[in-house]
Homo-oligomer: A and B are copies of this chain.
Amino acid sequence: MSNGVVFIVDDDEAIRDALAWLFQSRGVMAETFVSAADFLSGWTPWHRGCMVLDIRMEGMTGLELFDRLQELKSSLPVIFLTGHGDVPMAVSALKKGARDFVEKPFNDNDLVDRVIEALAWDAAQRESDADAALLAARLASLSLRERQVMDLVLAGKLNKVIADDLGITMRTVEVHRAHVFEKMEVRTAVELAQLMSQKRG
């Protein structure tokens, strides 16, 4: 299994312990937190896995913690736990991007299944994030001129036209173009176009 961790935030110690035991018995690593603040204090963008979050808690509620994490650009999938059914709350949470919303008392197996799904989703997410980061790093390694040349190449312009647009010689454009291909690790303009298109659409 992946190295994702389930982060459990609930102010009820009995539930925390029961959940942690439940997940670990199915081979899923779990960490528990007594409050939203407790979790936030240790959170970093590198946390991977998923969250199981109680709605009703002292201090910051689960929903508030969720909002806070969204502000912090966390992409951790969130599964809410709630004691009393509240449709508008569930709908609102899901529309804001929560992954799931489960009522207590919950079915143990069902909850674990949902967590495992969320972990798989997060793992896939991390992978495409890594791809995006790699591409961003390559883009960042381009000099200003190289970036300008690349943009014009992607606009389908000929070297001659690019040279004219930038007010430089065709020879210089060729040099920049070659550097772009090298730094972006592609061999042709077609590959470059595919690489760049992938990241925008």
Interface residues of A (CB under 8 A from B): 82, 85-88, 90-91, 94-95, 100-103, 153-154, 156, 187-194, 196-198, 201
Contacts and interface: CB of A to CB of B under 8 A. Distances in A.
A194 B197 contact: yes
Given A90-B90, A91-B100, A91-B101, 18 more contacts: A82-B87, A85-B85, A85-B87, A87-B87, A87-B101, A88-B103, A94-B95, A95-B100, A153-B190, A156-B188, A156-B191, A189-B190, A190-B193, A191-B193, A193-B197, A194-B197, A197-B198, A201-B201
Contact of A103 (B87, B156, B198, B201): B87
Contacts of A86: 85, 87
**How many identical subunits does the complex contain?**
2
In the complex, the 7 A-B pairs of residues with the closest C-beta atoms, listed nearest first: A197-B197, A193-B193, A85-B87, A156-B188, A190-B193, A94-B94, A198-B201
Contacts of A187: 156
A104 to B, nearest CB: 11
A90 B100 CA distance: 11
Contacts of A201: 197-198, 201
A154 B190 contact: yes
Contacts of A101: 87, 91
B156 A190 contact: yes
Contacts of A196: 194
A188 B190 CA distance: 9
A190 B180 CA distance: 15
